[in-house]
Structure 1
Amino acid sequence: MNAGLFRKESIDAQRQRLYGDVVIVQPPKISALATLLFILVIAAILFAAFGTFARSEKVPGYLVPDSGLVRIVPTKDGYIQSINFALGDHVAAGDIIAVVDTGLSLASGRVIQDEALSAINARERLVRR
């Protein structure tokens, strides 16, 4: 009864089966990309956890004096180099609250605005002669 249930070829194929496990091998490019992606994700996580970065923002603001409001606006764009007062300190008229670095300087270290002003003054002196 069992002999007629399966074909003879099918039973022979089962007997001649390869021994061992089937292993699916991925192409090396996929393994390399997966490893690179893993390293990038770990680097991003480490940077987010331990890294620092410089942040600059434009912040218009208002100071509240004894009477009314005073808007303080720098004359040029730049980065705050130093702040001379803390929150709650008394500020008198003419005090320098913060120093703004415009970052515009020549390779010699001289400031571009100073160079331009001295050139304008020199031309003015030549014209007046």
Structure 2
Amino acid sequence: MVSQGTVSDEVTQAFAKVSSRELRWVIAKVESSDIVLVASGARDSPLSELAAALGDEPAYVVYDFEGTREDGSGVMKTVFIAYAPDSCKSMQAKFAIQNFKASVKSKINCHKEMQINDKADLTEAEFRDAFNL
């Protein structure tokens, strides 16, 4: 059964800032049945900073990917990521991230959803593959 988590206004506002290109990324996590803001990255924040900000617990990430197609045209896509690291020993935390995913995803307009289980997978190459670039 899928539960409905309560997404805080702070998280909703941060997601909107990613969509409006004010922030590069946002990290949110589950606390009980609440979804709370953990961290956010400025527009010029590199992907490595996002990876460093992720802990060892499951989290939701909204990331604004910018890339270039082979023809030179630009691509800007918002990605929703369910991050559930293999290193996390708490099955309850892993279940919670999946259980509340629909509630969180409903707060953001995204172009792609991804599941990432290792910080090492947060690379430009992964995003380029996701968008067939």
Query: What TM-score comes out, normalization by structure 1 length?
Result: 0.19
Structure with greater Cα Rg: 1
Higher relative contact order (CA 8 A, sep 6+): 2
Instruction: Looking at secondary structure, tell me which structure has more strand per residue.
Output: 2
Instruction: Looking at secondary structure, tell me which structure has more helix per residue.
Output: 1
Query: What TM-score comes out, normalization by structure 2 length?
Result: 0.19
